[in-house]
Amino acid sequence: MGLTYFPDGIDTAALTTTSVVTTGNVEAGTLTIGGVSATPATTTALTIQAKEVTFTETTGAGTYTGSITVPAGSWVLDVIVQCVAVWNTTTTATLNVGDAGVTNGYFVALDLKATDLVITESVAFGKEGGKPGAYLTATHNLNQYAAAQRVITGTVVTVGAAGTLGRTRMCVIYANPTTVAATKA
């Protein structure tokens, strides 16, 4: 029987039967979950995590900002933006995704009104939809690792009075691995 460890702060009500959440280390000793006890050996943490921001259009022009903090020493594995519902603001709805170094480092001026992302479409590393930022070049992904903590921010700017339909999701997937130093022979 497999056990799944849910750290504090995980909303278990939002998980499905296909969800797997593992963070932190399980130390030797007795672990009891749901009345089932086990004595696991020390294991290495699964360090891949995903955090998501949702953008929901409301009436009137404005700026929507959603940020995800990535811990120091982490690798950004992917940034995915998906259209759930096309934005219907009167004039424009544009999304940039980046960090403090380059505010559109991952994606530049994604049109959320139907040209760049329509319902169920997404952009991600390697599938930038013609809108790669400075960090995603034709031959390399830049700034995937950072020794310092960083904040990845999505910013939607809408122009026009109308609009209430738009829904967009931004997911940042990152790893914070245990580091092992190479040795010199």
| pLDDT band with cut points at 50, 70 and 90 for residue 137 | confident
Q: Quick one: three-class SS letters along 88-125?
A: CCCCEEEEEEECCCCCCCCEEEEECCCCCCCCCCEEEC
**Alpha-carbon separation of residue 62 from 70, 94, 158 (angstroms):** 26, 11, 5
DSSP three-state, residue 152: strand
List of domains in the chain? 1-46 (no CATH), 48-175 (2.60.120)
Q: What pairs with residue 76 in β-bridges?
A: 174
Mean pLDDT of the chain: 82
This model's pTM is above 0.85: no
What's the pLDDT at 97?
97
Reported as a single tens digit per residue, the pLDDT across 42-57 is 445 558 999 999 999 9
